[in-house]
Structures are given as structure tokens and as C-alpha cells.
Amino acid sequence: MSASRLDPSFTSLPYRHLGDAALTRARELGVGHADFRFERVRYQSLTVRDGVLQGANDQEDLGFAVRVIHRGAWGFASGVVLTPEEAVRVAETAVAVARVAAEMTSTPVEIADEPVHADVEWVSSYDVNPLDVAVAEKAALLIDWTDRLRTGAAVDHASAHLLQVQENKYYADLSGTRTTQQRVRLHPGFEAMGAGADTFDSMASIAPPVGRGWEYLAGGTGAWDWDGEIEEVPELLAEKLKAPSVEAGTMDLVIHPSNLWLTIHESVGHATELDRALGYEANYAGTSFARYDKLHTLQYGSPVMNVTGDRTVEHGLATIGYDDEGVETQSWDIVKDGLFVGYQLDRQMGLMHPELNGGRSNGCAYADSPGHIPIQRMANVSLQAAPGGPSTEELISRVERGLYVVGDKSWSIDMQRFNFQFTGQRFYTITDGELGGQVRDAAYQATTTEFWNSMEAVGGPETWQLGGAFNCGKAQPGQVAAVSHGCPTSLFRGVRILNTTDEAGH
């Protein structure tokens, strides 16, 4: 919880009056459930290339939605005209949609109970809202980054970007829950590009997107070491451009959180969304090998694997106080001592499966705009560190022949989240416990269960970091959500390493 307060330019909007009008009308029409969601989402982005501002963009998404359960079916409608009359019309439309849907709904819709959260507020943890900082100041910082990067002999071009979001939501339902929330997130980054004798490549910042404020860039609490990374990246790029191509084979891997977060996202986060496992996303985002009948029987990984779903961790991109169904957010086990034990749920799935989370949602409903209906979305799914566990250096010292992987890059995974391969920004050789130079053209390939069962050790808390992404896509119509994944540096034995240049010729 932040010391910051709700933005008065949001709290001055008439969302309470609109919500009362919509819910009153829905009740008059005899619905079993109705909720009202009012949102204002502000977006700002800046891009710079080679010391020149390429673009600065501001957007705002403002509106409201009404969702009902009527005659055993969902109904949904949204609007942008902020009057009580429009709120009533939208509620009536949502009920009309439910009446049509009821004719096609074979199993009546029901949702799990949730305690009433009466008139509560929540604000994410940050010091300075980046949207309060002058655009000229932000542009000057990004321009300076690219100018400094281009002083490196190997750097031909440099780019930088900054994405910022302020999300405000008001939720109300017929049970009496009223939540008003605000969260801020930002994604800064840069990339240096250069050409070698026979190749072109790049090296980007490994700074993760975060649920923090401007202090992340300006040297406040929790700031990233931008100066240190900008000084280091040109030399790292120069080394990579001259590095030998990797020798394919089976090797041990020590994987840094800046790479491993993405493997968690794709092979654990998506695989343990219950709507995927039940086939709801089959037409678009796919299903999951982690089927419901494998719960409590599937050895997802080795005994050192402990993964939680968490919508409460400080600075997480999916962190919020209450979800878009009025559920107070939680933390729970997904994998415990390597065993698959839990899913991510919304209120409908919580009631459908009372053996999960006591028959209650674990707070995973989210809509990315007032024009979209809430769906089950990913929590901050994180691999836990080992208390008193080894340092990164200690993990490297255990490897006779292998690679140390830093930074994410390209990836591929099948629609069941089972067969995958991941590349990275930097692969360093490890020989007899000693770190060597970089190699190029490497990717690691495995199935989800063989990979996580090959994990021999996880690092201690000092190696644990939150990574994440702004652009996780799901559903039809498509929705985008931001999510973080924490993990420690980890050691994997006997992983298949591909040479991507050789593979491209097959």
C-alpha cells in the first residue's frame, strides 16, 4: 500500500452516481448478480533513436461497464457517456444480452460468494507518478541514454523507450462491495545495435518493467542502476559480435532471473490458468498439458520447485488490492515441492471447483478496459528462492560444462505449453566452475516437465528478482495485461542446447 493518494481528477468523476443508477436498474430487472466497473486508464509512451525523439504519445481510455447474471447467463454492456440515463441504458442492454445468451447456455452460470468489501481504497506502491513528470524531462533522459550508448565503438545505433500507465478503477456490485483503486506501472528500456564482421546483433537493458514510479529511473528507492548498465552494454555488445558460435549438445545451465522469468510465464503461468486447462481458450490461446486430472499427481518439477500465484507482492505488475469481480487479492501455492497443487481462478471457476481454494476465487479476474468483460488473467506467478540458498557464483561453481544465461530474447512454445525453446541475450560458457566468455546462436530446448524436473538448485533470496511484461495477450476480443514473475538464479542439469544458425538451415 502506497503513501500516495487517489488522483483527485479521477475521484471527481461521477462514478458513484452512475454505479448506483446502473445497479438499481439491474435489480429492478430481477438479475441474480450485477456489477458495475468504471475505469480511467491513462497511457503515455516515448521513443528515442540515436539522440532524437521519435514520438511521444498520450492516450486515455474512459468509460464504464455493467455485467449481470440473469436467467443463468452472463450479460455485458459498456458505455462512454457519463450520465445516469446512459448508465441505466447500459444496464438494460446487459440484461437484454443475458436474455439472449440464456437460450444458448446449457449450464447455468453461478459465481462463488465473496465477503463484502464496503467502500475500500487501494493505491499501489510508488513515490512519484511518472505521468506527473514533464515530458521534456523524460525525453531528455532517454536522449542522454542513447547518446552515451553510441560512444561505444561497437554501437552503430541506439534506441530507448518509456511506457507508463496509470490505471484507476471503481467497482460496485449488488452485494454492497465498493472498491476504488489506483496503480501505476512503467517500462523503461534501451537497446544498442551494432554489426560485426559477419553478423548484426543487439544488446538491451535487462531492467524489468515494474509497478513503481519515476524514482525507478531518477535514483530513488528501488532505482535501477541505469548508469552502470549503460556503461557496460557497449562492451558486452562488442564481445557478443566477436563471440564464437555455440557448440550444440547437452549442457548444464545456470539461468539468471532476467531470462528465467519468461520461461516461468510461458511454461507455468499460462499452463496453470484454469480456463485454459478447461478448454475455454482453445480457439485462440490454446489449452494446457496441466489438465485438471493431473492436479496433486503431476510432478511438475524437482523437489526444489515452489511456485506461488500472488496478486499482492509489492511492485508486481499484476498486483492490486481487489480484482475486477470485487475479490480481495491473495497468494497461494501452484507448485509445492515440485508437485502441481493449484490453479489461477475467478469467481465462476471457484464455485465450479470447491476443492480449490475453499471454493473461492483467488482474485484473478481482470479486464484491460471498460469496454471488455473481466476474464481470468494471470497473477504474479513466481518461483521461490531457497532460504539460505546459494549465490549465483556458488551455482556456477557447481557446473563442469555449461552455460550461464542472462536476459530474455526470442521464444517458442506449443499451444499446450509443453514443448518449448528459449534464447537469451547473453550466453557465457562455464568450464570447471569458472565463468568464461560469451557464445552466440544458443537456445535451450525442452518439454516443460523435463526442464523443471532437471532443476537441481535455486538460489538464495539475494538472487531473487521480479521480471515481467506489459503485453500478455489473451481472449477474443483480445485483451492485454501486465504481469510480473519473480525468481532466483537457478541451476538446471542436462538441458538440450541448440545452435540456432545450424537449426535455421534445417
Task: Report the chain (506 residues): mean pLDDT per 10 consecutive residues.
Answer: 80 98 98 98 98 97 98 98 98 98 96 97 97 98 98 97 98 98 98 91 97 94 94 97 97 98 98 96 92 97 98 98 98 98 97 94 97 97 98 98 97 97 98 98 98 98 98 94 98 98 81
Q: At the fourth CATH level, which superfamily is domain 8-242?
A: PmbA/TldD superfamily (3.30.2290.10)
> CA dist 315 to 97, 121, 152, 287, 357, Å?
38, 17, 33, 29, 24
- CA 308, CA 324: separation in Å to the nearest integer? 21
- What type of residue sits at position 245? S
Selection from 232, 270, 312, 10 nearest residue 131 by Cα: 10
CB 371 within 8 A of CB 399: no
How are beta strands 120-123 and 178-195 bridged, if at all? parallel
Inter-residue contact 386 to 463 (CB < 8 Å): no
**AA letter at 259:** N
Neighbours of 2 (CB within 10 A): 16
Q: Are the CB atoms for 410 and 392 separated by under 8 Å? A: no
- Name the segment(s) of the chain with CATH classification 3.30.2290.10: 8-242
Angular region, 381: left φ>0, alpha ψ -120 to 50, beta rest: beta
Do 46 and 56 form a contact (C-beta atoms < 8 A)? yes
- Cα–Cα distance, 233 to 203 (Å, whole number): 7
Grid coordinates in use for 439? 557464445
Angle at Cα 210 formed by Cα 269 and Cα 310, nearest 5°? 40
The three cell numbers of residue 124 are 499501489
For 234-284, give the DSSP string.
HHHHHHHHHPPBPPPEEEEEEE-HHHHHHHHIIIIITTTBHHHHTTTTTTT
Quote the CA–CA distance of 312 and 330 in Å, as a whole number.
6
Strand-pairing partners, residue 169, are: 39, 181
| 8 Å CB contact between 402 and 251 | yes
- pTM for this prediction: 0.97
Cell of 340: 502441481
Give dist(CA 353, CA 348) in Å, integer.
9
